Amino acid sequence: MSEPITFHIDPVGLKNIQAIFCDIDGTLIDSESRLHPETVAAVERIKDRIPFFLISGRNVKGMQAIYDTLGLNTPIVSMNGAFISLPNGKVLAKQPLEKDCAWAIVQEITQNFPTVSLNFYTPDEWFSSPLETPYLQREINILQMGPTVYKDVREVFVKNLIKMILLGDKSVLDQVYDHLTARFKDVTIIHNSDHYIEVYSTLADKGKAIDFLLEGLKLTGDQALCLGDALIDLPMYDHCRYGVAVANARPSVLKKANIITLSNNLLGVKHVLDLL
């Protein structure tokens, strides 16, 4: 190990962990979107005695390959907790994107920020505007799936929309974020990375999803551990006794976490699981 795991909490209680909630991008997989065999082996070793949940901003379809590779049977927590489902497709919880608000955001972007790519997610579909942008290809590479390009955005609004994604240059998205947050208080708007803004229901976040699942397991947050790296992961840390950040996490996440593990490229998740 090239650097130590840092504890800001007594690690003795790790032996009492009864549930693990793990983000995917930037946390479980490396910067090339690869899931390392040693990480797979670590999950396989613990999953039968400690429920292991994937909890991601991706939709179900975008999570499926990783879920299958890990051989999981736990509920799938997708789109930042806005959609929770079983492997057989049964929906346990759903918080759709409010369509009137989403439509108003579409109008704002179309009129004021025409270089921004509009993307919409249902549990198993991804719809994108015809606008060509290099950031769209980056998403395709990460998710290993492509979008359906719509001709008229109105055709998307008959779908089961859960989340919007806005892709574009950082300088433009910084303006978009300020513009939208000043006007729309009824949705959650997260500028999660330089080229990426997420829009979803205010009734959903990863922390609320964790509470929902812990209640079903008859557990408390004192028996839970979460792992993350990004702004959308922050709510998890208020709902789990043990909050782990990979070393590549955003500064606000590193500050919030009470355990700092190795980076995602150095198998940080695997090293934490080895402690359990």
Residues 107-116 have pLDDT tens digits of 999 999 999 9
| Segment 202-229 mean pLDDT | 97
Asked if pLDDT for residue 169 goes beyond 70, the answer is yes
| Class at the top of the CATH hierarchy for domain 6-94+205-273 | alpha beta
| Segment 173-191 mean pLDDT | 96
Distance between CA 210 and CA 20 in Å, rounded? Answer: 10
| Segment 155-166 mean pLDDT | 96
| pLDDT at res. 216 | 97
Asked if pLDDT for residue 2 goes beyond 90, the answer is no
Distance between CA 60 and CA 80 in Å, rounded? Answer: 11
Tell me the per-residue pLDDT of 193-211, one tens digit each, with 9 for 90 and over. Answer: 899 999 999 999 999 999 9
Tell me the per-residue pLDDT of 82-127, one tens digit each, with 9 for 90 and over. Answer: 999 999 999 999 999 999 999 999 999 999 999 999 999 999 999 9
Distance between CA 71 and CA 68 in Å, rounded? Answer: 5
| Segment 181-187 mean pLDDT | 95
Distance between CA 164 and CA 79 in Å, rounded? Answer: 10
Task: Indicate where the chain has its CATH 3.40.50.1000 domain(s).
Answer: 6-94+205-273
Task: Map residue 201 onto helix, strand or coil.
Answer: strand
Encoded amino acid at 190, one letter: I
In the predicted model, what is the mean pLDDT of the chain? 96
Axis-axis angle for helices 99-112, 170-183 (nearest 10): 130
Q: Is the whole-model pTM more than 0.85?
A: yes
CA 132 to chain centre: 24
Distance between CA 230 and CA 37 in Å, rounded? Answer: 23
Name the fold adopted by 99-201.
Answer: 3.30.1240
Asked if pLDDT for residue 48 goes beyond 60, the answer is yes
| pLDDT at res. 96 | 97
| Segment 171-197 mean pLDDT | 95
- Confidence class for position 138, pLDDT limits 50, 70, 90: confident
| pLDDT at res. 3 | 60
Asked if pLDDT for residue 144 goes beyond 90, the answer is no
| pLDDT at res. 1 | 43
- Confidence class for position 142, pLDDT limits 50, 70, 90: confident
- Cβ atoms of 180 and 160 within 8 Å: the answer is no
Task: Indicate where the chain has its CATH 3.30.1240.10 domain(s).
Answer: 99-201
